[in-house]
Amino acid sequence: MARINLLPWRAERRRQRQKEFGAMVGASALGAVLIAGLIYMFYNAQIDGQTERNDFLREQITQVDAKIKEIEVLDQKKAKLLARKEVIEQLQANRSQMVHLFDSLVRTIPDGVTLTTIQQNGDLLTLKGRSQSNARVSTYMRNLESSGWMTNPELSVIEARGDNKGLPYEFDLQVKLANPNAPKDTNGDGIPDAPATPMAPPTDVTPAAPGTAAAPAATTVPTPASTAAAAPAAAPTTGAAP
């Protein structure tokens, strides 16, 4: 005898499939939540690490800024010390300049010229005085130029003033102070030139013929006449009337 199932099996299977589908949906949702949580934690860790690196960089930048300020302060102190050193070196180099200057002023002034005012402004010296004539002032300027301690004399004013018949002319001239003993800087690189080393004159040696002895080089003995000609000319005497 055949058996007939009269139970609602289709509805039961449908409910079973719905349960399976719900379980799959729940598992998928849970997996998605877990994956999202993992991604969130990963990026949070990356952000925290980058934040720590940024904080470290800010701290290092702060330290570097503090060191830069210290370096700037040290540079200022260095500049001040170098300026003081330069002033001391200038004073040391020009310590005897005033002595030579006043000695040159006394030696170079000719007869018929008197100084009334001496004013120094850095390397510029202003001389004011009275003279008997224009030629006396010209002689005085030549003497200043040849003194070695004063150069480039420039006459500003010379004219007859006052009632002094002995010294009717008043003049105003400027000279630049110089130090003949100071090292020279001809190329302008800021470094004093090295002293020139005298070179020996070249000798002309002619090779001797084979089998013959070489003749000794001729030695030139200076004669009194040539010695007198090579002697430097005597310096012109100052103070002579034109």
**Interval 31-40: pLDDT, tens:** 999 999 999 9
Q: In percent, how much of the chain has pLDDT > 70? A: 67
Q: Please, are residues 70 and 76 in contact by the beta-carbon 8 Å criterion?
A: no
Reported pTM: 0.41
CB neighbour list of residue 234: distance below 8 Å, 6 or more residues apart: none
Q: In 94-150, which residue ranges form alpha helices assigned H by DSSP?
A: 97-108, 134-147
Residue range 12-59, pLDDT digits in tens: 888 888 889 989 999 999 999 999 999 999 999 999 999 999 999 999
What crossing angle do the helices spanning 134-147 and 97-108 adopt, rounded to 10°? 150
Residues 6+ apart with CB under 8 A from 81: none
pLDDT: which is higher, 154 or 27: 27
Lowest mean pLDDT, pick from 53-62, 91-100, 115-124, 181-190: 181-190
What would the mean pLDDT of 67-78 be, rounded to a whole number?
Answer: 94
**Please, which pLDDT band fits residue 63 given cuts at 50, 70 and 90?**
very high
Copy the structure tokens of residue 199. 């070179």
- Residue spans per domain, the chain: 20-93, 96-181
The single-letter DSSP state of residue 162 is S
Q: What is the pLDDT of residue 175?
A: 87
Q: What is the mean pLDDT of residues 183-187?
A: 59
Give the pLDDT score at 68.
95
pLDDT beyond 70 at 220: no
Residue type, 132: Q
The answer regarding whether domain 96-181 maps to CATH 3.30.1360.100 reads yes
